[in-house]
Amino acid sequence: MRGFAESVMRGPRTVAEQVANVLREAIANGTIKAGTPLRQDELAEQFGFSRMPIRDALRQLEAEGIVSIHPTKGAQVAPMDSAEISEIYALRELLESEALRLSLPNLAGAKLDEAEQVLDQIDAERNVGRWGTLNRAFHLALYDACGNHRLLGLIEGHHNAADRYVRILLSNLDYRSRSQTEHRDLLAACRRRDAGNAISILRQHLREGSETLVSAIVEDGLARKS
Least separation in angstroms between residue 205's CB and a second copy is 19
- 110-115 long-range Cβ contacts below 8 angstroms, 24+ apart: 111/141, 111/142, 111/144, 111/145, 112/141, 112/142, 112/187, 112/190, 112/191, 114/141, 115/141, 115/142, 115/187, 115/190
Q: Which of 65, 62, 83, 63 is nearest to 73 (CA)?
A: 62
Nearest-angstrom CA–CA distance, 176 and 131: 10
Residue 69: strand pairing partners: 75
Mask for 71-110, x = binds DNA (CB under 7 A):
xxxxx-----------------------------------
**Smaller CB separation from DNA, 58 or 85:** 58
Choose the one of DNA, a second copy, none that binds residue 149, judging by a C-beta under 5 to 8 angstroms depending on kind.
a second copy
**Smaller CB separation from DNA, 77 or 186:** 77
Q: Is 22 in the site for DNA (CB under 7 A)?
A: no
Nearest-angstrom CA–CA distance, 143 and 141: 5
Among 31, 33, 35, 37, the residue binding DNA under the rule CB under 7 A is 37
Q: Is 55 in the site for DNA (CB under 7 A)?
A: yes
Q: Is 178 in the site for DNA (CB under 7 A)?
A: no
Least separation in angstroms between residue 126's CB and a second copy is 33
Nearest-angstrom CA–CA distance, 72 and 218: 32
- φ/ψ of residue 148, rounded to 5: -130, 100
Among 70, 173, 219, 225, the residue binding a second copy under the rule CB under 8 A is 70
Among 98, 156, 185, 194, the residue binding a second copy under the rule CB under 8 A is 98
Q: Is 221 in the site for DNA (CB under 7 A)?
A: no
Are 185 and 145 in contact by the 8 Å Cβ rule? The answer is no
Least separation in angstroms between residue 196's CB and DNA is 46
Nearest-angstrom CA–CA distance, 169 and 85: 13
Question: Given the rule CB under 8 A, which residues bind a second copy?
Answer: 3, 7, 13-14, 17, 52, 55-56, 59-60, 62-63, 70-73, 84, 87-88, 90-91, 94-95, 98, 148-151, 154
